[in-house]
Amino acid sequence: MKKVELNNHNYKANKKMKESRDYLEMTFRSIECFSNDGKLDAKELGEILAIAEKDGKIDNNEIRVLRNIISKIKPSEIDSDMKDMLKKVSDKVNA
């Protein structure tokens, strides 16, 4: 009986410690966006941000991926919508 309780406790501890894999989904989504037309628009960046936020927090892996994605955006691609979205991302990441 104690063995079962110990295993159940370990299962719960492992479940809590399990790392989020949302950053992988974000990466794959960004690849789709960039390969679609060679650039990322504000709506697509918003969708990627939503993936990061779906568990209620933006973790370090998600921040790293967001920064990497944003670094690929060319200055000529930053319109007013993208500027607003970049500000939103910055505010959330640096909060």
Range of the structural domain that residue 35 is part of: 20-93
Q: Which pLDDT tens digit goes with each residue over 10-47?
A: 444 444 556 789 999 999 999 999 998 999 999 999 99
The answer to whether residue 15 is domain-embedded is no
Q: Which pLDDT tens digit goes with each residue over 10-20?
A: 444 444 556 78
The answer to whether residue 39 is domain-embedded is yes
Q: Which pLDDT tens digit goes with each residue over 62-90?
A: 999 999 999 999 999 999 999 999 999 99
The answer to whether residue 7 is domain-embedded is no
The answer to whether residue 61 is domain-embedded is yes
At 40, list the tokens. 């990322």
The label of the residue with tokens 């892996």 reads 61
State yes or no: pLDDT of 55 exceeds 60: yes
The answer to whether residue 11 is domain-embedded is no
The answer to whether residue 69 is domain-embedded is yes
The answer to whether residue 3 is domain-embedded is no
- Burial of 34 from C-beta contacts in 10 A (0-12 / 13-18 / 19+): middle
Domain count, the chain: 1
State yes or no: pLDDT of 1 exceeds 90: no
pLDDT at 6: 46
Q: Is 22 left (phi over 0), alpha (psi -120 to 50) or beta?
A: alpha
